[in-house]
Each structure stands twice: as structure tokens, then as C-alpha cells.
Structure 1
Amino acid sequence: MAVTQLKRKAKRNQAVAKNRVATIKRLSLKLDVKRVDIEALKAEFTK
């Protein structure tokens, strides 16, 4: 019995996996908040 490779399906599976990884990376991307002036924020909320 011969075994054939499903090349189109393999490409599709790889594309799905790459898209999933890219989506996870994009969603988990978090910008670092640096040098936040806490007193200024408190002053904004007390107005």
C-alpha cells in the first residue's frame, strides 16, 4: 500500500499554526508603562 503526502493540507496546517502563534503574540503584547506621575493621576480623579 502506497503512502502519499498531502502537500496542500500540510501547507494549510502550517499556515493555521503560524496564524495562531501570530495572533497570540499580538494579543499578549503589552506596552511597558514607565515614569507614571501618581500624584498627577490622583489630582485628575479628585477634580
Structure 2
Amino acid sequence: MGVTRLKRKDRKNKARANNRVARIKQLLATPVIKNVDMDELRAQFGEAPKNKKEENTEAPAAQTEEKSTEETSAE
């Protein structure tokens, strides 16, 4: 006497479980923003240049070095 397996139902249940695990992993992967200094963010946006063409003529490598040093000092 054999046991009948519900194959379609089994596939649906496995798919639901896999989707649930994937959804949980995706939620855990998103970074949580903590202790954001709003005044500092506003100051950064206020310092944005009006004309991008003039700034592009300067050395772009120097700008990337400045940003990397600021990021390391902020952390």
C-alpha cells in the first residue's frame, strides 16, 4: 500500500518557504541609518558648486582623495 504524495502542493510549500527566507535576508541586508546629523547634511548640500564645468577642469583625483580622508576621519 503506497502513499500518495501531493507533488504540486509540496512545490508550492517549498517555494513559499524559500521566498520567505529570501525576503528576510533582503531585509537584514539593508543598512540601518543611525545618529544622522541633519545640520552637517544641510551644510554639505549648501556647499555644492553652481557651475560644474569649472570644477571639472580642476584635478578630479584631488577631490576623490579629499573625500576619502573625510570619510575615514568621520568614522
Q: TM-score, normalised by structure 1?
A: 0.59
Q: Where in structure 1 do 4 or more consecutive aligned residues deviate above 6 Å?
A: none
The letter of the residue matching 1:12 is K
Uncovered stretches (5+) of structure 1, i.e. residues with no partner: 32-40
CA RMSD of aligned residues (A): 2.9
CA offset at residue 17 of structure 1? 0.4
The letter of the residue matching 2:7 is K
State the structure with bigger RCO (CA 8 A, min sep 6), 1 or 2. 2
Cα deviation code 1:4-47 (max 9, x no counterpart): 0000000000000000000000000044xxxxxxxxx5xx35x7
CA offset at residue 3 of structure 1? 1.5
Q: d(CA) in 2 for partners of 1:30 and 1:15?
A: 23
Indicate yes or no: 2:17 matched with 1:17.
Answer: yes
Task: Classify the secondary structure of the residue corresponding to 1:4.
Answer: coil
Aligned to 2:58: none
Instruction: Give 1 or 2: higher helix fraction.
Output: 2
For these two proteins, the number of residue pairs brought into alignment is 38
The letter of the residue matching 2:3 is V
Uncovered stretches (5+) of structure 2, i.e. residues with no partner: 32-36, 44-75
